[in-house]
A and B are shown apart, each in its own frame.
Chain A
Amino acid sequence: MKSSTTQNACILILLALALAACGTSDNAALPGAEEGPQAAQIGPAAGGTAAAGAGIGATATGTRVAGAGAQAPAEPGRGSSGEWMGGPLGTLVVYFDYDRSAIREEYGEILQAHGAWLAANPEGRLRLEGHADERGTPEYNLALGSRRAQAVAQVLEALGADAWQWTAVSFGEEKPAEDGANEGTWSKNRRVELVYE
């Protein structure tokens, strides 16, 4: 994975800006706000997790694993024969804190890799699907999912992706990755899925 200190510095500044954009509320630590899971490695192994949450609808990641190989050229994270490479490009889900759209620092390297890939592959197309957990009103969560997708898009653009390479859609709380009313489940539902098309 190519990376330079300049790029690293860039992304840290970006993340800092994204965090600052949330202003004082970002550290207000609303009740129930906890750290989400670490960035999931969506590969064949993690595909099982995605499929387990298919009660409401198969997640994009689950679908993609099933279709392994067919879209290899248009998709990062796979080798020439369609096998998952792992690493930052194999990470297709970004998780968020409760009621936040700021991107956590741990996603710096991952988004940097996706941004660089999009810059190097102008034909690449990415759909960003924003989601929220079930807490709060459905319409407010629809807006929150939208803000999360937009936050990912802004970082990707700053890292080399072009505006026409991505589209954003929000499903709010309508398509949870997992069912259940606890922080462990909620933290997996507050997410943006990166779906290469």
Chain B
Amino acid sequence: MRMRVHAERIFSERSGECPAASRAFPGTRILAIIGATLVLLPPMASAQLDVVITRSTQRAMPIAVVPLEWRVPLMAPVDLARIVEDDLSRTGQFAPLGRESMITRPTGFNDMRLTNWRIMDVEAVVMGHVSGSGDNLAVEIELVDVYAGRSMIAYRLRSSREALRDAAHRIADVVYEQLTGARGIFSTRLAYVQVTPGREQFRLVVADADGRNPIVVLRSAESIMSPAWSPDGSQLAYVSFEAGRAEVFLQDVESGQRRRLSGEAGASSAPAWSPDGELLAVTRSSGGVNRDIYIYALNGGPARRLTRHPATDTEPAFSPDGAELYFTSDRGVGPQVYVVPANGGRARRVSFSGTYNARPRVQPNGNQLAVVHQQDGSFRIGLLDLRDESLRLLTNGPLDESPSFAPNGRALIFGAGTPAGRGLGVYFIDSGVTRLLRAPEGVLREPVWGPHEPD
């Protein structure tokens, strides 16, 4: 049973503590009403994912997320402030004040004493209240800059009871954007493959960015590989072995409707969407074994062959402007990353550190590639800077793979192959913090971070 819930968010600007506020924080003035669509399904049989800290942070901004005052007759189904706090602290960029240390629990700028927070060294306070009843709830929030002594943003969000968790993620998105300048990613979704023992052990799962609310969108007795979100977040392309060989399928996430990409003979894999969602780059075997990259127009028509080389060409990824494709090829010594114009042409090598750099994914700003780098038998996620060809290794390995950028480019999710087992790792670029998500049973693989909700 699917139910659609519409959450409207209305922003209002706090009247004039400081006239410069809206200039200093351009995000303050958000006039649009944002309509969001949620898909709510019954929770899947497996339990939630665990979240484990695997590396401590550098310097995190001290903040306080005050428990929201609940002015609704029926008890609160979720702890909104806790969700906001968890979202923010997970990035490693924020250190929330413990509730036991809060001397007072204000609900807005007008009823707070700044000195109470200054003595705790808190730099920003999030507070507010929830009112209304039933499925007509209003969540009102204010964010205060403690040292400047002014309100940065105040806004109201309408939500049903069931959508409160999503409302909390949206609050976290706004706070994150106000405090860092980068768009928040807490309302986005993840897709990954879960492999569990038993029959139909391969599952394609869609979950919230914090790993909660996992929804199985496909179960199969055969392998599922290489999921890829369409740019609008409505579809997943992936590889299924259900016909006894690798083939690319496209599936509408909400309706579950799916189709095979092409009826042509031969295996196909490694689907990658163009930024406009109109093209799908795919690896196909031609002449039996040799793999090259082909481009399909999703509105029909024959596939266009993009690379033509006796070596293996695979793992394509479009550049953010759609003009180029990065891909893995072993045409040199070992797999390396190359780039080729999307309209065809000569491929140029872009990775030069070591003997194994594969599975490129392009940062949304186009500056860096996330790659899988192998050195001394250990596979780690690296950031390859396209401007100076430098490579920075982010993870410890030894079997890390499948990096995928968050849509704001400030975090990566990857398949974490640690000595303790396989899970999903999230690496936050600004703090250097890695988080691990693990399933209570089975293995999690091939995560891919979904896009922002459309405006």
Which residues of A come within 8 Å of B, CB atoms? 23-25, 28, 30-32, 55-57, 99, 134-140, 142-144, 146-147, 149-150, 168-172, 174-175, 181
B328: A residues at CB distance < 8 A: 137, 139-140
Whether the Cβ atoms of A30 and B355 lie closer than 8 Å is yes
Q: Does B374 contact A (CB under 8 A)?
A: yes
Are A137 and B267 in contact, CB atoms less than 8 angstroms apart? no
- Cβ–Cβ < 8 Å partners of B283 in chain A: 139, 143
**Is B446 located at the chain interface by the 8 A CB criterion?**
yes
Whether B225 contacts A142 by the Cβ 8 Å rule is yes
Q: Which residues of B contact A139 (CB under 8 A)?
A: 225-226, 269-270, 283, 314-315, 328, 359
Report the Cα distance A99→B222, complex, angstroms: 24
- Bound state CA distance, A146 and B417, in angstroms? 24
A138–B285 touching, CB < 8 Å: no
* CB < 8 Å neighbour of A31 from B241, B269, B315, B377: B377
Q: Is B288 an interface residue (CB 8 A)?
A: yes
Assess whether A174 is in contact with B225, with CB atoms less than 8 Å apart.
yes
Q: Which of A23, A135, A140 contacts B359 (CB 8 A)?
A: A140
Which of B241, B375, B399 is close to A135, meaning CB atoms less than 8 Å apart? B399
CB distance from B182 to the nearest CB of A (A): 28
* Cβ A138 vs Cβ B355 within 8 A: no
B386-422, CB under 8 A of A: which get 1 and which 0? 0000000000000101100000000000000100000
The 5 closest A-B pairs by CB, nearest first: A32-B377, A150-B289, A31-B377, A174-B223, A143-B312
Take A30-B355, A170-B246, A171-B223 as given contacts and tell me if A137 and B401 are in contact as well, using a CB distance cutoff of 8 Å: yes
Cβ-neighbour of A147 out of B225, B289, B446 (below 8 A)? B289
**B301 on the interface (CB 8 Å rule)?**
no
What chain A residues lie within 8 Å of B315 (beta carbons)? 137, 139-140
- Please pick, from B289, B333, B399, the residue contacting A25 in the complex, using a CB distance under 8 A: B333
Are the C-beta atoms of B267 and A136 separated by less than 8 Å? no
Taken together as a complex, chains A and B put the C-alpha atoms of A56 and B224 apart, in Å, by 12
Question: Min CB distance, A132 to chain B, in Å?
Answer: 12
- Please determine whether A136 and B401 come into contact, CB atoms closer than 8 angstroms: yes
Output the least CB separation between B453 and chain A (Å): 29
Expressed in whole angstroms, the Cα–Cα distance for A111 and B335 within the complex equals: 29
Q: Are A24 and B401 neighbours in the complex by a CB distance under 8 Å?
A: no
Q: Are B225 and A150 in contact (CB under 8 A)?
A: no
Binary interface profile of B, 346-377, with partner A (CB < 8 Å = 1, else 0)?
00000000011011000000000000101111
B355 contacts across to A, CB distance below 8 A:
28, 30
CB neighbours of B55 from chain A (8 A): none
B226 near A25: Cβ-Cβ < 8 Å: no
A147 proximity list for chain B (CB < 8 A):
289, 312
